[in-house]
Structure 1
Amino acid sequence: MKQHPQAPARTTGRRRLATLATAAVVVSVAATGCTTGGASSGATAGGQVSTDTIRTVVNADPTTFAPVEVRNADDYTFNRLLFSTLVRRDENNKIVSDLASKWDITPTQGTFTIRSGATCSDGTPITAGVVAESLKVFASPDSKSSFRPLVLGDGPATITADDSASTVTIKLAQPWTDLLQGLSLHATSIVCPAGLKDPKGLTTGDVAGAFSGPYTLTKKQHGVGYTFTLRSDYKTWPAYENIEGTPAKTIEASVNSNASAIANELLTGTKDIANIRGKDTTRFDGNKDFSTAVIPQGSLYMMFNEREGHPFTDPALRKAVAQALNVTAFNQAATGGLGELYSSFAHPGVPCSNKDTSLLIKSDPAAAQKVLAGVKIRMVGAQVFGPNGAANTYVAEALRAAGAEIELRNVDVATWSTELTQKIDGWDITVMGGINAGGTMNGALSTVVGIPVEKGGLNWGGAVNQPVVDLESKAMTQTDTTERCSTYQDAQKIMISDAHVIPLSSLPSQVTVRSGFAMHTMNGQPDESTMRITK
């Protein structure tokens, strides 16, 4: 199958508004009028924006700046500013150029022609050899990337470069039809030679020449904020369509997890673009100085630690947890009732996501009590799921009401992800927020089954479940969409009916953008490299 890139992204003055969460959304507003409570940074007396800076917010410090190590939403945010990938996913999952100008793809191989004129942040030309060396680090069996099997499958991959032809070839050990889409993922971002020479410095963001993307990291203060500066020599932007406006010379990203405080900053003119959740999203209803788009920032579901020695290797206990919960009450605690109730651990916009609600285990607190009474459970939850971790508190109280002995720790998202992936024996249950950056059913499955994180996979819970792994491998050989979805449906049936996961709801996030600025959201996920000043 031969793929060709789309036409280069074009700048337009057209105003576009938010659309459905599973479609691509561009958030922009005409650059007229003042914001409620104050003018924008650099605003003129007439209220029009005059600035070269975009001020935004992240919920927590990134856990890493190294692409192969990315885990959390804030890692993804900064990655898109600092690094380029071979391809990107545009609206409706169309694959378009980033560093690759064209490509030839089969189920077992991909050959990519590298665009001319691309350079690293220290001026080093990005050749086919530079790209290949970066991808070899990602593809190595010793790679720190849990996304490796999601992109390349379970076997080894051979990566070669031909600098005279400007091509990079990736050969796979077995058919893997997600290769092309996988190469749009943040973890496959191209690291320049200076970054490969200093892995520790790359992780902390301290290698100035490591970056292949449009910005460099010029200032960082843990827990406070980060400053990114546009490269004057950067020309090879991703070939997205309909990108409007001018890239900011400076992006200032502060750290703040409080949705009310972030909303205040937007409304008083001290922030320009931010994602907010919960009831504070309604504060922008009818405000013509902002445009908004609601996106499914994550899929919320219960995940169990199914490693040996943990209570939830017992399917009866897992099913009892499902019976103890009321998904409507959970959604109220997690999102203020704004989330969509899910019938899978993948959001409905993911191709082949389950829609059969009969697979879900029905709430039955009385039945749950007969099984859970006296069971000791250690729960670690991320505070971002509901105000002060209200989603986790609801789950803990529901299980406590069923007679279980619960130890709940509500922690910040960086601590939560670190503990669940690196202190694997210290927890039994968690509310998971699956981001599924690749937008595929394979991506959703990889977080709940197969290779566990301690062995280099994406699976936080450690459930291997060979029948599901076999179905996943089968799907990777099927090019017929109907057949592939049937295989994925069989896999989801096992995971949901046996309560390896308990689907709950979406975690909606509102991308909120001040007049005079814009940012695109592709397939339900924001791309911070598309932040623009439109006036």
Structure 2
Amino acid sequence: MHRRFSVLAVTTMTTVTAAVAAGCSAGSSANGNSGPAGYAKDGTFTYTIPSDPGAIDPYRNISSINEMGSLVYDPLVNVTPEGKIVSGLAERWQVDARGATFTLREGITCSDGTPLTARQVAAALTFLKDPKNQSPLYGLLVPATAFTVTADDTARTVKVTMQEPFALLLQTIGRTPIVCDKGMKNPKSLAKSSAGTGPYVLSDVVRGDHYTFTRRAGYTWGPAGVGNDAPGTPARVVVKIVPNETTAANLLLSGEVNMAAVRGADRKRLEARELKHFTLSSTLGELWFNQRDGRPGADPKVRKALITALDLDELARVSTGGQGKRAEALVANDSQPCAANNVEGLPRHDARQAAALLDQAGWTAGSKGIRGKGGKQLKVSLHYSSNEGKGNVAAAEVVSQRWKDLGVSVELVGDDLNSLNRAMFETGDFDVYWAGFKLNLPHLAVPFASGAVPPAGQNFTGIKNPSYDSLVARAARTAGEAGCKLWNDAERSLIAASDVVPVSEAEIPYFLNKGEAKTEGWLQIPIPTSLRVLR
């Protein structure tokens, strides 16, 4: 089985920060109308995403969860824009570090009309907790710590029992999207259809262009028991694939789309037109060094040299177009409970020191200015996402030039979503990746920074950091401030070893035209039942 995973949208639908509806109160609109009279009846809400994630299968393609999966798949619990955990499929729950019991609402149905049972939920979680099934949710929303799942259809309860304590059960298993039996039995069907309990059903797919979702009748189990029949609720939601931000901005201004994220140069002209928007903070740029055998990054001195050759302040400015700041952690600090500055130990920019480190590692100056060792040139393939805007591309070019100045032969490779997934989780054929994981809780970095390399695991750079492994094992069992300290110490051990470098953090603006949306700050997509179309 090939694992598909989007490093550019790795979010997990957990605790959130406050969100905004069209930049104003819930009863107001982006075009000046207010109240129910300003809402369109049975309209179409269209928003853009930069690339096609493929099949909307949350158990095999996590990027689809972030971009549109919440339209069709519900979790056991939801989170409000204010950060409060409320009901979802489960109407009540009991949870501690040893386990959780979820009691399902009555009357929940799957998209094919069949009832959702506790047994189906348990079957989905049982599938996800088995590492042999290679779901990208394993270790993210589904703890890698062993656990058992039992169900009682009569009582409508799903019970999770942990083998070892795990402090974030409600924020992980509680937020896992549930796929109904039809999709579990025939996952290939999810390429063109959906099998969930969400407020919409996938009704049309045009690859590379758009996905269309149709509103379900009788949906009453959204966040805190809301339905999908409020005034202005769209009858259809269209998710349009628009790789170019300028094109997305033009579509917004023409009224052809209702919402789009635009953070580049086009942001200013949208603001000048006074389009309402809300912003979400996210870690945008990170450097991940491939440490597998035979790669230059397997040598910690080489990793440190490459970092020391860079002016990280410059990179932060370039990658965010001057709109962001230096990242202080792998998780954007204003959207996580364990906020701390974890990058204080990073080496300062010093080109001479960088050269000295490479000399110590045996890579000395050679012909045509390229360093070599044992008759082999120092070559680095630097990959980056081509879908993350002009600033991201410019930052990758800056990194490439600084390393060339150091005497490194650099191959600069821009990847779309599919080639990014192949390089990271299939071929492993890269040396350094410039990308942003957009994590929302510190434990979400664990699969990428420890364990087996793909396809057996998700440690795509082959990091081996015993200190990190030890600290995260303790952190996973520890709640509260003590747990946060352990998580931050673990992250600092990665950064101190030059395993990964968080570089930039930016506020991503989501602009709206004739539409309203509320969003979970860490999820970075709209809450489906909050979407409204305005006249």
- State the TM bucket, normalised to the shorter chain: 0.7 to 0.9
The residue correspondences of 1:128-143 to structure 2 (distance < 5 A) are 128-143=118-133
Q: Distance in 2 between matches of 1:277 and 1:242?
A: 32
Does 1:354 pair with 2:340?
yes
Tell me which of 95, 112, 133 is aligned to 2:102: 112
Distance 1:66 1:415, change over 3 A: same
The residue correspondences of 1:468-479 to structure 2 (distance < 5 A) are 468-479=468-479
Distance 1:224 1:393, change over 3 A: same
Q: Distance in 1 between matches of 2:450 and 2:281?
A: 22
**How big is the shift at 1:451?**
4.5
**1:460 counterpart residue number:** 460
Say whether the 8 Å CA contact 2:385–2:415 is kept in structure 1: yes
SS at match of 2:133: coil
**1:239 counterpart residue number:** 224
Q: Distance in 1 between matches of 2:16 and 2:107?
A: 34
Does 1:376 pair with 2:361?
no
**How big is the shift at 1:219?**
0.8
**How big is the shift at 1:389?**
2.3
The residue correspondences of 1:330-409 to structure 2 (distance < 5 A) are 330-349=315-334, 350-355=336-341, 357-370=343-356, 371=358, 373-374=371-372, 375-387=378-390, 389-409=393-413
**How big is the shift at 1:174?**
1.0
**How big is the shift at 1:357?**
4.8
Distance 1:242 1:141, change over 3 A: closer
**2:21 counterpart residue number:** 27
**How big is the shift at 1:467?**
1.9
Distance 1:198 1:83, change over 3 A: same
Say whether the 8 Å CA contact 1:351–1:441 is kept in structure 2: no
Q: Distance in 2 between matches of 1:357 and 1:75?
A: 30
Say whether the 8 Å CA contact 1:513–1:519 is kept in structure 2: no
Q: Distance in 2 between matches of 1:414 and 1:23?
A: 31
Tell me which of 293, 296, 310 is aligned to 2:278: 293
Q: Deviations over 1:406-452 (max 9, x none)?
A: 1111121232123211112x11101121122xx21111344333444
- Amino acid paired to 2:512: V
Of stretches 352-361 and 253-262 in structure 1, the one that deviates more from structure 2 is 352-361
Does 1:448 pair with 2:439?
no
SS at match of 1:389: helix
**How big is the shift at 1:524?**
6.4
**2:432 counterpart residue number:** 429
Tell me which of 191, 205, 210 is aligned to 2:179: 191
- Amino acid paired to 1:95: I
**How big is the shift at 1:22?**
7.4
Say whether the 8 Å CA contact 1:451–1:464 is kept in structure 2: no
Of stretches 157-166 and 327-336 in structure 1, the one that deviates more from structure 2 is 327-336
Say whether the 8 Å CA contact 1:331–1:338 is kept in structure 2: no
**How big is the shift at 1:79?**
0.8
Q: Deviations over 1:468-515 (max 9, x none)?
A: 111101011212x23222222321221112211112001432111124
Tell me which of 65, 80, 86 is aligned to 1:96: 86
Say whether the 8 Å CA contact 1:27–1:513 is kept in structure 2: no
**How big is the shift at 1:221?**
0.9
Say whether the 8 Å CA contact 2:282–2:331 is kept in structure 1: no
Say whether the 8 Å CA contact 2:72–2:200 is kept in structure 1: yes
Say whether the 8 Å CA contact 1:27–1:521 is kept in structure 2: no
Of stretches 358-367 and 279-288 in structure 1, the one that deviates more from structure 2 is 279-288
Does 1:77 pair with 2:48?
no
Does 1:64 pair with 2:64?
no
User: Identity, % of aligned pairs?
Assistant: 28
Q: Distance in 1 between matches of 2:38 and 2:114?
A: 42
SS at match of 1:417: helix
RMSD: 2.6
Q: Distance in 2 between matches of 1:150 and 1:513?
A: 31
Say whether the 8 Å CA contact 1:299–1:507 is kept in structure 2: yes
Q: Deviations over 1:140-167 (max 9, x none)?
A: 2322223322344334321110011100
SS at match of 1:285: helix
Distance 1:432 1:64, change over 3 A: same
- Amino acid paired to 1:466: P
SS at match of 2:223: coil
Q: Distance in 2 between matches of 1:79 and 1:25?
A: 19
**How big is the shift at 1:136?**
1.5
**How big is the shift at 1:286?**
5.0
**How big is the shift at 1:184?**
4.6
Distance 1:506 1:22, change over 3 A: farther
SS at match of 2:424: helix
Tell me which of 240, 247, 251 is aligned to 2:237: 251
Tell me which of 309, 326, 336 is aligned to 1:324: 309
- Amino acid paired to 2:398: Y
The residue correspondences of 1:214-229 to structure 2 (distance < 5 A) are 214-229=199-214
Q: Distance in 2 between matches of 1:392 and 1:530?
A: 38
Of stretches 262-271 and 508-517 in structure 1, the one that deviates more from structure 2 is 508-517
Q: Deviations over 1:378-428 (max 9, x none)?
A: 12211123417222222212211211111111121232123211112x111
Gaps of at least 5 residues in structure 2 are 1-14, 364-370, 373-377
**2:486 counterpart residue number:** 487
Distance 1:462 1:422, change over 3 A: same
- Amino acid paired to 1:77: E
**1:262 counterpart residue number:** 248
**How big is the shift at 1:34?**
7.8
- Amino acid paired to 1:62: P
Gaps of at least 5 residues in structure 1 are 1-20, 36-45
Q: Deviations over 1:10-43 (max 9, x none)?
A: xxxxxxxxxxx973212325337489xxxxxxxx
Does 1:519 pair with 2:505?
no
Q: TM-score, normalised by structure 2?
A: 0.86
Q: Distance in 1 between matches of 2:423 and 2:486?
A: 33
SS at match of 1:328: helix
Q: Distance in 2 between matches of 1:245 and 1:334?
A: 40
**How big is the shift at 1:343?**
2.1
Residues matched between the structures, number = 493
Q: TM-score, normalised by structure 1?
A: 0.86
Say whether the 8 Å CA contact 1:295–1:525 is kept in structure 2: yes
- Amino acid paired to 1:191: V
Say whether the 8 Å CA contact 1:89–1:522 is kept in structure 2: no
Q: Distance in 2 between matches of 1:104 and 1:51?
A: 38
